[in-house]
Structure 1
């Protein structure tokens, strides 16, 4: 870290050890100089982003997008402070010491329906709140879902977020192959419902231990996503209820106009009966 942003940051926080590393930056533990409270510090240097104007633009708009979303649902990782200069963007965030959903699923495999529904409800609440503020996450996946406590899942990493609050359509191939919506792969304009598709893939993974659309390469995975042939293999889904499959069909609907919104996901009977009502979540 260097520059004016680091100087301002270090006046308010004590920076500790590295606890994570992503494609463009690092995450460190940090502590409030005034209270000693622990947080996570995400640092994104801009030098590595300047080769791609889109990557740089996304990094520079991340603080605004994350701030809007973090005030809309307690199921979003809260942004507590942001420091930015010409060299880097530093975000002080909730410290989610429970790890991410990807690691949890890798260790445990498929989840019981009540647990999957509870986590899906929290994710849907995070998305509903973000969407009401005009923010689409655009990279919903287990790696970006963090446990603040044992059963407290929060959506983080708004580094790919898009703004649609003024009615503008979103474009661009943003996201991760297994989880990206077909309209994104097709290169069309799209809406915030791309997040619901991705959340549907996450729910499918939680219930079955596998993803619905995949290939040996990213290109083959994109082809499978475009086909959108949703199946429920008996070996993985024999014990999964009809209600869960119904919700998956509505979230993983190729037609965005017929696909559920995040608010509709929260009102689905399977979520209400097993995962708790929207009011109980957010």
Structure 2
């Protein structure tokens, strides 16, 4: 651990682990407040792309978090030649995946609309600042002590602009957009596709694209054959299905933007069964 970090924070138990490091509890030496510290081991970053993403994670998280109550906040960055430490909000869980899978049956539409509105507010704020998250999934959607959604883990995030498209295969198999897998340049709308998959999962309790292996999942995503099995979606409103179709749209030029999702009648109406003719 960095000496500067240990001077400012008391490091506690490990609470998580990822590809490049671990997450620990930590306590401010000045106030006693509890935070999380994400420790990234630079020696594990053998791939140049991974190194670039990790090196810019702190900067992007800071940019995304300013004035955005639905993004994890960052309180300090400590680094040396071998390690990067990010001091973040402590969000002990459960995450959105736990909330979806830990109940009997799908999430009711009003609750799903409220959750999706918060998630899309976070994504829309990021997009307005030229940031694409690129790994939107339920595991990266946490809840704070007030029950508000917080989008976390900007380790795959990238900056974009009018003259700067994105490329590279990043993300998680069930949630990744087809244009990412196809090896083409793509836009921030990849986050909208991923959020659409989350909405489908919340309302149906199943994933729209699946397979026994990652390759089979990728093939299903590339086909993009979106269906609403009647035995599962018969009670889901036409408005909700309309929004899902506009989010999980194979053609990025026709896919909704984050702002359009927030203005859709199902979101504006709080998921109260507004059917479309």
Same fold (TM over 0.5): yes
Partner in structure 2 of residue 123 of structure 1:
119
Q: Does 1:66 align with 2:65?
A: no
In the alignment, the residues of structure 2 paired with residue 149 and residue 229 of structure 1 have an alpha-carbon distance, to the nearest angstrom, of 38
Partner in structure 1 of residue 40 of structure 2:
44
Q: Does 1:34 align with 2:18?
A: no
**Match runs of 1:48-127 below 5 Å:** 48-50=44-46, 52-108=47-103, 109-127=105-123
Q: Does 1:188 align with 2:200?
A: no
Contact 1:72-1:126 at 8 Å conserved across structures: no
State the TM-score, normalized to the length of structure 2: 0.94
Partner in structure 2 of residue 279 of structure 1:
none
The unaligned stretches of length 5 or more in structure 2 are 273-277
Partner in structure 1 of residue 275 of structure 2:
none
In the alignment, the residues of structure 2 paired with residue 275 and residue 245 of structure 1 have an alpha-carbon distance, to the nearest angstrom, of 11
Q: Does 1:215 align with 2:211?
A: yes
Residue 169 of structure 1: which of 165, 168, 174 is its match?
Answer: 165
In the alignment, the residues of structure 1 paired with residue 78 and residue 227 of structure 2 have an alpha-carbon distance, to the nearest angstrom, of 46
Contact 1:134-1:166 at 8 Å conserved across structures: no
Q: Does 1:240 align with 2:203?
A: no
Paired residues, number: 271
Partner in structure 1 of residue 14 of structure 2:
18
Contact 2:53-2:156 at 8 Å conserved across structures: yes
State the TM-score, normalized to the length of structure 1: 0.93
Residue 229 of structure 1: which of 207, 210, 225 is its match?
Answer: 225
State the Cα deviation string for residues 138-190 of structure 1 (Å, max 9, x = none).
Answer: 00001111011363111000000011046311000000110000100100000
